Structure 1
Amino acid sequence: MKITQVCPVSPASASGSQKSLPLTFFDILWLRLPPVQRIFFYEFPHPTHLFFNTLLPKLKQSLSLALGHFFPLAGTLTWPHESNKPIIKSTIDDSVSLTVAESDVDFNHLSGTHQCEATESHHLLSNLTISDEKASVLALQVTLFPNSGLSIGITSHHVVLDGRTSTNFVKSWAYLCSKLGESSSACDLPPELIPFYDRGIIKDPCELDTKYVNDWLKQGGPDNRSLMIWDLQVPEGSSRGLFHLSRSDIDKIKQLVLSKQKGEKKKKNLHLSSYVCSVAYAWVCKVKAEEIENKYVMLGLNIDGRHHLEPPLPPTYFGNCTGLRLAIAETREIVGENGMVVAVEVLNEALETLKDGVLSGAENWSSWLLDGLVHFDVKTIGVAGSPRFEVYSTDFGWGRPKKVEMASIDKTAAFCLSDSKNGDGIEIGFVSKKEAMEAFTSLFVKGLA
């Protein structure tokens, strides 16, 4: 790969005053977790000069316009001595690093859905600049594959934005890029994309921010104010796969669960949503494929809390607003004959607690993330992303993505769920050892036959 330029892109219409944005407990929860990384692959079967002379200038200009709306992304995460928690500081000198590169790797290989090495796409991403004292928030990379395609790699600091906010930013950038030159209002965003910054709407009567801050201070403490993130490594020999569940596949899974329920005493009416069925199916396949030996297996579910809070937050709220839920089952039951029923039941039980409010159990969230259930023999698996983000609708003006990949799951061993390229069903990204991936593929396909 050849890096052709690394350029700072500043927000358009920057004001002359310094701004800061406080963190809420929703943000602080993710303080030192690894960045979230996504790669958007687009077909672009055109010569190199067309990219550099036409497309790249539009990408830069629209990025500047987007950052004018999403100004904290060009800022710096810092923890002032006079502050009891970190803040996002923004100044008129802020910018985001945009790396532009050319790659001679086979674009169709990287943008395909077949099994491949987990780290093959890492060169399409740039890293955040992070020290004990401060951290950048966003790093971007555009990589051209001459005469075939391009990729846009997004690396974002988890403490500043969750999946919903990250997706809103990328869609805003794409929208502005597609509208450049159309009218004098090309720098305006539609209401459904304008970020909402009011932190006062989030109430914290239980002082969760203080608890989460104190839990982080104890990590490597006793008063560890470092902003360095966890240095998680990709397990050697990891492979990546992308799997598709069509609507008809999901209907098959629903019918399978219902038929298995009829074969035993029906315990309860289960909510068989596409999300629940997809997660349960992937969970069962993974536990079987990896031959997990722990007594228990647990799924960590990320719940977008915006519409669960009182009062509800707008979908464009900027920052983190993600609640956690745990679904736990005995491993022997998940791999047993009625494993799908068990998986769906425990997922239902976990999601049922949302009726008590998204903050039910929030006093334990930092303990779950930092310590896990260390006193139990538990294998934990995370679920990232959401089909509701509709990442495949991200069109910069030259068409929908050929593929969207969440590269950061190779370090966290989480599933990634998204909408599908063709609009039919759900895509599931998964990383595991090569042998387990082959077994997962076999189980995934046979279970739908």
Structure 2
Amino acid sequence: MAEFSGDTSQGFEHLSGNHPRDVDELFALVPQLPRGDTETVEDDSVLVSPVLSIQVTLFPDHGFSIGFTNSHVVADGKSLFNFIRTWASINAEQLIGECNYEILDTLPFYDRNVIKDPKGIASIFFKAQHENSGASFSAAPSKDRVQATFVMNVAQIQGLKNLVMDKIPHVSTFMVACSYVWNCMAKTREALGHGTEVEQCLVYGMDVRARLDPPIPANYFGNAVLGCWNTLKTRQLVGEDGFCNAVEEMNRVLDEKINNNEGVLKGLETYFDDIGAAKGKEVIRVVGSHKFDYYTTDFGWGKSKKYEHLNRICLIRDLKGDLGIGICLSKNEIDSFTTTFIQGLIN
């Protein structure tokens, strides 16, 4: 538990706004996840690491924030979202004297045996995790960086879809939003002097619970996301067809993941090789999903005013259907990106 110091009214409004805010200010609301310690269990030395840390920060007479830091070792974004939804639902029911938990569709499903692993991918990931076991899982603020939220309304999203529907009739909101951000980011970096032959990578996670063979429950608690790597050179993203090129690349990668004879796990055994190959490239990471209804999550005190995911790009849909895109950039990038983002939607 922490308490905000200073003018709580200005602090609450400032930190929950869409305008650029220093990342350091927002990280003050988020707890650090302690490093693991080595312990002896049955004569064997094991590393025991915390997996979740929560900090509640009070803004007296104005509200509070709940900051989460979690390890991906035990849970992906959907699992954490379901945890928050379950916690909120239980709290809301207890406030009105009800405790009918059995009707909650977010209660966790823990059985790991539902996932089949004929390629031994688990052992590959375990080995890689063991080799990096000393690393801290806590996110850390980056100097000279700011966090801002950019909003696309429903009409703007549809306008972007219309630009590519002749080639990709069933393009998704996620695809056009990520492609547009990728396009704007490449233009920003080019304006700041980055070379046009530099490779730009867009990386995001795809939930595969429903795509495994056999499918696993939607409330499976663990990791069931695959990294999707999309790569284009800056010149392919900044030209007149830059946005369309980005959408086509995303569509190609997704098609390869979904429509192949080996299923969605094809190539997963080389995941860490892909990470190594990305060194030296400019990488944009998108986390979470706009399908997570954070703004309908109610602890019994009403909906939240703002949801943020720090130091990454995150898409959040609000109750009106507009899309908030949280972006963390350096201070010398944010002005150029803002201009590019706004002008592109107008034109």
Normalised by the length of structure 2, the TM-score is 0.88
Q: 2:266 — aligned with what? A: 360
Aligned residue among 50, 60, 75 for 1:146: 60
Give the superposition deviation at 1:189: 4.5
Instruction: Give the total of aligned pairs.
Output: 327
1:444 and 2:341 matched: yes
Alignment of structure 1 residues 77-156 onto 2, 5 Å = 99-104=1-6, 105=8, 106-132=11-37, 133-156=47-70
**In 1, distance between residues paired with 2:59 and 2:239?**
46
Q: AA paired with 2:52? A: L
Q: AA paired with 2:84? A: V
Give the superposition deviation at 1:215: 3.3
1:198 and 2:111 matched: yes
**In 1, distance between residues paired with 2:141 and 2:95?**
43
Q: 2:228 — aligned with what? A: 325
Q: 1:426 — aligned with what? A: 323
Q: Is this contact kept in 1: 2:33–2:137, CA < 8 A?
A: no
Alignment of structure 1 residues 36-75 onto 2, 5 Å = none
1:236 and 2:138 matched: no
Give the superposition deviation at 1:191: 3.6
Local SS of the residue matching 2:150: strand
1:305 and 2:212 matched: no
Aligned residue among 257, 260, 277 for 2:176: 277
Per-residue CA deviation, residues 356-377 of structure 1 (Å, 9 max, x unaligned), is 22212211112223x1334xx6
**In 1, distance between residues paired with 2:83 and 2:278?**
35
Q: AA paired with 1:355? A: N
Q: 2:285 — aligned with what? A: 382
Give the superposition deviation at 1:153: 0.8
Q: Percent identity?
A: 33
Give the superposition deviation at 1:181: 4.5
Local SS of the residue matching 2:217: coil
Q: Is this contact kept in 2: 1:270–1:344, CA < 8 A?
A: no
Q: 1:269 to 1:419 in 2, by over 3 A?
A: closer
**In 1, distance between residues paired with 2:172 and 2:293?**
17
**In 1, distance between residues paired with 2:222 and 2:2?**
27
Aligned residue among 299, 304, 307 for 1:396: 299
Local SS of the residue matching 2:291: helix
Give the superposition deviation at 1:316: 0.7
1:335 and 2:248 matched: no
Aligned residue among 227, 241, 250 for 1:347: 250
Aligned residue among 155, 161, 164 for 1:248: 155
Q: Is this contact kept in 1: 2:21–2:148, CA < 8 A?
A: yes
**In 2, distance between residues paired with 1:227 and 1:313?**
32
**In 2, distance between residues paired with 1:386 and 1:309?**
19
Per-residue CA deviation, residues 5-40 of structure 1 (Å, 9 max, x unaligned), is xxxxxxxxxxxxxxxxxxxxxxxxxxxxxxxxxxxx
Local SS of the residue matching 2:49: strand
Per-residue CA deviation, residues 245-279 of structure 1 (Å, 9 max, x unaligned), is 11101111122345xx7xxxxxx445421111100
Q: Show structure 1 runs of 5+ residues with no match.
A: 1-98, 220-225, 262-267
Q: 1:181 to 1:392 in 2, by over 3 A?
A: closer
**In 2, distance between residues paired with 1:346 and 1:163?**
24
Q: Is this contact kept in 1: 2:188–2:333, CA < 8 A?
A: yes
Q: AA paired with 1:299? A: L
Q: 1:211 — aligned with what? A: 124
Local SS of the residue matching 2:185: helix
Q: 1:216 to 1:156 in 2, by over 3 A?
A: closer
Per-residue CA deviation, residues 301-330 of structure 1 (Å, 9 max, x unaligned), is 200111111111111100111111111112
Q: 1:187 to 1:386 in 2, by over 3 A?
A: same
Q: Is this contact kept in 2: 1:101–1:141, CA < 8 A?
A: no
Larger displacement relative to structure 2 (139-148 or 100-109): 100-109
Larger displacement relative to structure 2 (340-349 or 432-441): 432-441
Q: Is this contact kept in 2: 1:389–1:418, CA < 8 A?
A: yes
Q: 1:203 to 1:336 in 2, by over 3 A?
A: same
Local SS of the residue matching 1:284: helix
Q: 1:158 — aligned with what? A: 72
Q: Is this contact kept in 2: 1:172–1:189, CA < 8 A?
A: no
Q: 1:249 to 1:290 in 2, by over 3 A?
A: same
Q: Is this contact kept in 1: 2:32–2:139, CA < 8 A?
A: no
RMSD of the TM alignment (CA)? 2.0
**In 2, distance between residues paired with 1:214 and 1:140?**
29
Give the superposition deviation at 1:102: 4.0
Normalised by the length of structure 1, the TM-score is 0.69
Q: AA paired with 2:159? A: K
**In 2, distance between residues paired with 1:136 and 1:401?**
27
